[in-house]
Structure 1
Amino acid sequence: MSSTLDRSLPLVPPDGVERLGLFGLYLFAVFGWLGTTPATLGLALLTLAFVLHRPDWHALGRDPVVRLSLILIGFLIVHSLVLAGLAPSTERAATILGGGGDWLKLMLFIPLAHWCAGRPERVRGLLLLAALGFTLAVLRKIDWANFGLEFFSTRFESYLPAIAFGMFTGLGALGIIVLRQAFWGRFASGRLRRLGVTLWAFWLLFMLEGLLLSQSRGSWLAFIGALALLVVLEWRAHSAATGARIRRQGYRLILPVVGLALLGGLLVQTEIVQKRFTEHTGTVLEIARGETSAVESDPVGLRFKALLFARDTWSERPWFGWGAGTSRELIADSGRPEALFDHDHWLPHLHNTYAEILVQFGLVGLILMTALVWTLARSGFRAGRAGRLPADLGRFYLAALVFVLIWCLFNYRVVRTDWLFFWILVAGTLHGLSHGADTPSPKTQAQAGSPMASR
């Protein structure tokens, strides 16, 4: 598989609509985490070009992922309109309608998928550009005038909330590991290739250091789980490779670099890591012993109490929930400051994505959203077996799925702009590759496959 961009696919094709779509696509990827306004413009342009391009609507209607998306769109619209009409106040009705609109934006991954169909090299380029945009955004937010060694012992929250920053740096590190050959391949052999490998190593260290600086235990646990899976998948791919000198060299390089980076970071910041994992063990033990009445209102205790509140609130409306975006108002109206008040403010959400979906949309909404993610993942596996999804990208999507599933146990950020762009980019590229328009060549078929196949 070529590790460079497919030069037979021109960046600016002759067709005007396609040119507009690709311009929006690359604009969205570069500025997704660097600038909200240009990223939104890019998303609007690629969506408009998708409509003007006149896709095969009948074929789209037969796609299981698109069908479920349409069902979910209908559910969100009807659900929001009905519950807004039943809301006890105009403020609650406005919250539900606005929240429903935010959830509907997630379906914009379908237009993006159109521009990635059958283009794995384009997808690799988009993912690397998105990681580059995120890196530039972080560098821009660092206070370089007062920069010093103390920076590496403090929590970095100047760009995103800590747990969100930990999520994107963790996913960035996983992506840089998986797409290493796609990055190296942009440099010619010899001295330039060594320069590329060096830049890659520094980029990886940057992401890992950002993950540590987030001091987010949820992000750390998610990264550990996803990295463990990725190691297994990479090792199986390496074991299946035969007579590939470049592959052997790649693995001889990547394992020491990643291992030394993780070990070095842990040694330098052992005190911070140890403190974060031990400072609330008393609360964890109280919860494990069932002594819930004495649980303190520390970060762990607040999350536990929020889950208890979510259970009680959801049980009142188990099937369809209370409406999009209502959890913040429900918490503020709960009359439980001892359980849901964090120092000087009410909890902004339930700190658990699954609990949020149950409270907002009920069991029906959770089933529909789970079905969409499951169908999208299953189509990815089928695309791998059919030769449309390259193995390296398959490993990234699988590791990212595990990371996000674990991370969602600790926080909720679905309707935020950063999560919206993340979902549209990752789900859209996966869906596009899962339904590629082009028949893969024999070489691509041999090098593609399931996430556990060799690369």
Structure 2
Amino acid sequence: MIKFQILPLPSYHSPITWLVLPFFFLYVFSFSAELSTAIGNISLGFLLVFGLIWFFKESKAIAEKDLLLYLSISFLFYIAARTFWAGQEWPHQWEQQWDAAKGWLLTGFLTVYLISFWVSKHKNPNNLAVLVFLLFALGFTFSILPYFEFQNLIQIINGKREQFGFAGTEAGLYSAFGIILVITLTPFVVNLTPPKFKIYLVFTLIALVSILLFALLATKARGAWLGFVLALSVSFVLFIFSREENLFPKKDFSIVLTAFLTFLMVLMALQSDKIYSRITSEGKVISQIIEEGVDKAEVTSISKRVLMWRWGINRWMERPWFGWGPRNLHFVAKKDPIIEKVPKLTHLHNTFIEILVRFGVVGFAFFFFQWILIFNAIRTTWQKSIIPPPLANFLIAGWVLWVVWSFFAFRLNHPEMSFFIALLGGVPYGIKKHSINHTKNPSPNPY
């Protein structure tokens, strides 16, 4: 039996942990567009300021040789220098360039390191990781509950989602993320619950997944839909072939999975005509793009995105090394025929092309090496059984979801998306750091 506490009382830096977690919950709760951004700004400001104070208070941490720390500091200097350069190039856009750079300066790389630093200092980082991710899912779920009125639910079931107030590609990502989280961590949550409470927990998990699934359908975010299908498939394969699958029974997991799949099939059956219509229409446009070219294809959201991708790649090739600066290029391309054709798309709807256009190959290299460090941390901790298999399963599926979603959307320069990525990256990196720091004085297996 695995000795792994799902909701532990943090035993190391306990006052710090319990002081940070409420602000963390409030920040995720503020993701809903209906709430005042003041909640999010105050919470994020507290998390960053408190994290920096705690970091500098730990004198040994400043001198530690950590590649992610050096990469984070270098990236901040690069963003500042590139923004200053862009401001000199377009003096009338000076203020807008610095405003665009805030999302990269305030969060991003430094937040990844601060979260990894916090996790690595905890006595049991696996427990803290599960607690943080569960709070993320709960915080986002509570933030979208006001949208679920009776008439809205009827509209979703009937496939008429145009007037549903909750929308946005990032909302689809967070909804899919929450579903993957519940599905992958269910084996531990259910297995370690006292028998008399299991039935209540199962119904709670089903309700949570149902709410998030409704939100995922309501957003109409194709990137989130596709990413969800692929991430769930990857999660299922990892679960089946996990080397540690014999450590926990599957019967409790199968109950929730069966209920979820049944609920999903019922929703798909109710909206089969809408789903079929969307797949066939977008398949037709994709065929037109391949056979006749994007310029002759029917103007839809797919063809608009392909136009913007091509336009972005052409702009990147004009300045391949350092890019054009932190702000999008629409302000210098008002008379461009492509921009006039897709006036509502204010960015390139592709995270990777957007990074190349704004910061060039040099800026993209910072992100690439950061992702390499994070993926290596996930691989190492999983292979060495440092983290529980379901947690590794969830982290891998979460990254698959974000990568697929990022091919269709871009929001990495916004604080909430940077914070989301900082969680996915900082947690596994922090767990790896914790294991390295305790190699000389090994502690009992945390799970």
TM (norm. structure 1) is: 0.85
What is the alpha-carbon distance in structure 1 between the residues aligned to residue 363 and residue 166 of structure 2?
28
Residue 208 (structure 2) pairs with residue 203 (structure 1):
yes
Opposite residue 73 of structure 1, the aligned amino acid is L
Match of residue 94 from structure 1: 95
Match of residue 25 from structure 2: 29
Match of residue 309 from structure 1: 311
Opposite residue 28 of structure 2, the aligned amino acid is G
Residue 265 (structure 2) pairs with residue 263 (structure 1):
yes
Q: Percent identical across equivalent pairs?
A: 20
Question: Relative to 1, partners in 2 of residues 1:189 and 1:25: Cα closer, same or farther, differing over 3 Å?
Answer: same
TM superposition shift of 1:331: 4.5
More displaced, 250-259 or 388-397?
Answer: 250-259
TM superposition shift of 1:301: 1.4
Match of residue 452 from structure 1: none
TM superposition shift of 1:131: 0.6
1:206-226 Cα shifts (integer Å, max 9, x gaps): 222222222222211111111
1:159-170 correspondence runs (5 A): 161-170=167-176
Residue 238 (structure 2) pairs with residue 233 (structure 1):
yes
Match of residue 224 from structure 2: 219
Residue 389 (structure 2) pairs with residue 397 (structure 1):
no
Opposite residue 231 of structure 1, the aligned amino acid is F
Question: Relative to 1, partners in 2 of residues 1:138 and 1:283: Cα closer, same or farther, differing over 3 Å?
Answer: same
Match of residue 129 from structure 1: 135
Match of residue 144 from structure 2: 138
Question: Relative to 1, partners in 2 of residues 1:44 and 1:267: Cα closer, same or farther, differing over 3 Å?
Answer: same
Q: SS at the partner of 1:296?
A: coil
Question: Relative to 1, partners in 2 of residues 1:8 and 1:287: Cα closer, same or farther, differing over 3 Å?
Answer: closer
1:169-195 Cα shifts (integer Å, max 9, x gaps): 1111001111214443674322x1211
Alpha carbons 1:23, 1:46 under 8 Å: kept: no
Match of residue 409 from structure 2: 411
Opposite residue 351 of structure 1, the aligned amino acid is H
Opposite residue 376 of structure 2, the aligned amino acid is R
TM (norm. structure 2) is: 0.87
TM superposition shift of 1:333: 5.0
Residue 280 (structure 2) pairs with residue 278 (structure 1):
yes
1:83 to 74, 86, 90: 86
1:62-119 Cα shifts (integer Å, max 9, x gaps): 22222222222222122222222222x322x222222223112212222222222241
Alpha carbons 1:29, 1:425 under 8 Å: kept: no
Opposite residue 128 of structure 1, the aligned amino acid is L
Match of residue 50 from structure 1: 54
Alpha carbons 1:66, 1:110 under 8 Å: kept: yes
Aligned length: 428
Alpha carbons 2:111, 2:422 under 8 Å: kept: yes
More displaced, 206-215 or 218-227?
Answer: 206-215
What is the alpha-carbon distance in structure 2 between the residues aligned to residue 241 and residue 147 of structure 1?
40
Residue 154 (structure 2) pairs with residue 149 (structure 1):
yes
Alpha carbons 1:24, 1:41 under 8 Å: kept: no
Match of residue 177 from structure 1: 183
Match of residue 120 from structure 1: 126
Q: SS at the partner of 1:179?
A: helix
1:347-391 Cα shifts (integer Å, max 9, x gaps): 210111111111101122112211111111112222333443332
1:324-403 correspondence runs (5 A): 324-332=326-334, 334-342=336-344, 347-403=345-401
Question: Relative to 1, partners in 2 of residues 1:196 and 1:235: Cα closer, same or farther, differing over 3 Å?
Answer: same
More displaced, 173-182 or 383-392?
Answer: 383-392
Q: Unaligned stretches of 5+ in structure 2?
A: 31-38
Opposite residue 358 of structure 2, the aligned amino acid is Q
Match of residue 427 from structure 1: 425
Opposite residue 424 of structure 1, the aligned amino acid is A
Alpha carbons 1:30, 1:132 under 8 Å: kept: no
1:59-78 correspondence runs (5 A): 60=64, 62-78=65-81
Opposite residue 419 of structure 1, the aligned amino acid is M
More displaced, 21-30 or 264-273?
Answer: 21-30
1:278-329 Cα shifts (integer Å, max 9, x gaps): 2233321121114333123321111111112112211211111100023342
Question: Relative to 1, partners in 2 of residues 1:2 and 1:348: Cα closer, same or farther, differing over 3 Å?
Answer: farther
TM superposition shift of 1:58: 5.0
Q: SS at the partner of 1:289?
A: helix
TM superposition shift of 1:335: 4.7
Opposite residue 56 of structure 1, the aligned amino acid is K
